[in-house]
Amino acid sequence: MSEYRAPIREMQFVLKELAGLDEVAQLPGCEEAAADVVDAVLEEAAKFAEGVLSPLNVVGDREGAQFQDGQVTMPKGFKEAYKLFAESGWTALGSETEWGGQGLPKLVATPVSEMWKSANHAFALCPLLTGGAIDALVLSGSDKLKQTYLEKMVAGEWTGTMNLTEPGAGSDLAAVRTRAEPQADGSYKIFGQKIFITYGEHDMADNIIHLVLARTPTAPEGVKGISLFIVPKFMVDDAGRLGARNDAWCASIEHKLGIHASPTAVMAFGDKGGAIGYLVGEENRGLEYMFIMMNVARFGVGMEGVAVSERAYQRARDYAKERVQGTDIGVRGSVKVPIIVHPDVRRMLMSMKAKTEASRALAYVVAGAHDKAVHHPDAAVRKQHQAFVDLMIPVVKGWSTEIGIEVASTGIQVHGGMGYMEETGAAQYLRDARISTIYEGTTGIQANDLIGRKMARDGGATFKVVIGLMRALDADLARHDGLAAIRRRFAAGVDALTSAGEWIVATYAADVRAASASAVPFLTLFGIVAGGWQMARAALVAQARIDAGDSDPFYPAKIATARFFADHLLSQADGLASSVTDGAAGVMALAEEQF
């Protein structure tokens, strides 16, 4: 059973050649992100991921989190690993220095988080949710709330959660019924139940800070009547000391297909008289604030897709090199060979490698754009990059997680029958990956967000800018005869995406049901073409290095992988575009009683 090895060479290439690390390092507040510093961060993160987190991955899967009498005990080694994780400063990597963070840009934090997720998906969910809670407090919390909670959360001494879903309110947050009753001292008493709360209870940190959506007595119906509250597991006094246990309890944890070491809690608030909570920001703006956490989480979940792809690819590749079976096709009298020699196994490995590299490159590029949206001194440039980030977040989340499932499934196929056996470890990746297309909004929700809020709302203006950036690559590709096939496939893919996007924008206004029926095929098309865009850019960089005399085998491998992506994935663009523009009628063709 192979262990995880961080793909640092690949990460460095994407950071420096595609995502614009040098540009980000010149932004105000990002000066610490010099290339040598980033290289050192990646090396240290790799040591922790490979040496501490990866060996616990199977342990966590087999033991799982254990629930008894309202308490959750983490699998063997997790509590100690988390303590070391926090003491090593990893919880503070991307947080603001004002609260004890290291202030490194998102572009640097992104490959580090990928390592955590590849090494141990279940463990990585805890800092992911805490990071989202930190961001929500930084942007929306009062000075008192920030002073009380942020330093401990940034230091990793306390963790955070996101409490949205209720038994009768899944994705429809307008149906939230948890209530918040105002008290004379300015606090609130929270009553209600939340489900699917990741790390809602555990024994790794001294306190858990729950961010909870609830309604005040005067709140209007619907999403406009939702407020956001901090509800700590243990009360905190003015000096920052922990006090009495709050009335926020874990009623049970879920028994899940995967991520067994991540406790998914049913949380009961107020069963013993009322959980004390504190309003974040203004009443009735809770959904707005929660979406701060949601966008952080959606990008982070997209990175889970990238991460599981990398882990599944590594295991399948290593197995294919070791597993000897069959003779070499077309070679008379051949001896038994490793299965990596066989063309179909090679095809599967190439598909895993190409999808992983494309989804990683796209995510890192979006992370770099995020840093420019936050730190660039020119307001117009910030606005431009924020529009790009907003457009691409549902693609990163939706497409990358679907890719993660595909790659993990292919990894099992590479193993053959042994892939279906838990002993090889390949099956765990598929089980763990399956949730990633569901939580923080299903692929369908991401797709409808993409076509509605992110495209139809601005008439496709930002989409057209992205198409322009893609088309601008054509002249550079045309200068290299060896990249002609990539150029041809990519150009056709951009044409297909353009026509499908124009149809979506026009149809959304005239027939929103038809547009929604085509939303997921459109998101898939967008992901493939956007991934192909980054692979074409990577091929251009690699070709330039080869032309300059660089003999590093990394570069011809990059071109070959980009060519595979073009031939096997970009070639699907026309069919997907047809599904978008012609397929809506078939989706709605049957009456309900015909199913």
Single-letter residue type at 130: T
Q: What percent of the chain has pLDDT over 70?
A: 99
Note if the pTM is more than 0.95: yes
Which of 179-188, 327-336, 569-578 shows the lowest per-residue confidence on average (mean pLDDT)? Answer: 327-336
Q: Tell me which of 166, 440, 502, 592 is the catalytic residue.
A: 440
Question: Does residue 415 carry a pLDDT above 90?
Answer: yes
What is the DSSP code (8-state) at residue 21?
A: H
Residue 290's pLDDT is what? 80
Taking each continuous run of H as one helix and of E as one strand, the counts in the chain are 21, 14
Q: Within 120-238, where are the H helices?
A: 121-140, 143-154
What is the DSSP code (8-state) at residue 215?
A: B
Residue 102's pLDDT is what? 94
Residue 243 CB neighbours (<10 A): 10
Residue 333's pLDDT is what? 82
Distances (CA, A) of 142 to 195, 242, 276, 443, 461: 27, 20, 17, 34, 36
Both tokens assigned to 591: 């009456």
440 carries an active-site annotation: yes
DSSP symbols for 429-458: HHHHHGGGGTTTS-HHHHHHHHHTTTTGGG
**Nearest-10 Cα torsion for 527, 533, 539, 541:** -120
Tell me the pLDDT band of 297, cut-offs 50, 70 and 90: confident
pLDDT for 497-543, tens place per residue? 999 999 999 999 999 999 999 999 999 999 999 999 999 999 999 99
Instruction: Return d(Cα 407, Cα 351) in angstroms, integer.
Output: 8
Reduce the DSSP state of residue 281 to 3 states and report it: coil
Query: Environment class of residue 58 by beta-carbon count within 10 Å: exposed (0-12), middle (13-18) or buried (19+)?
Result: middle
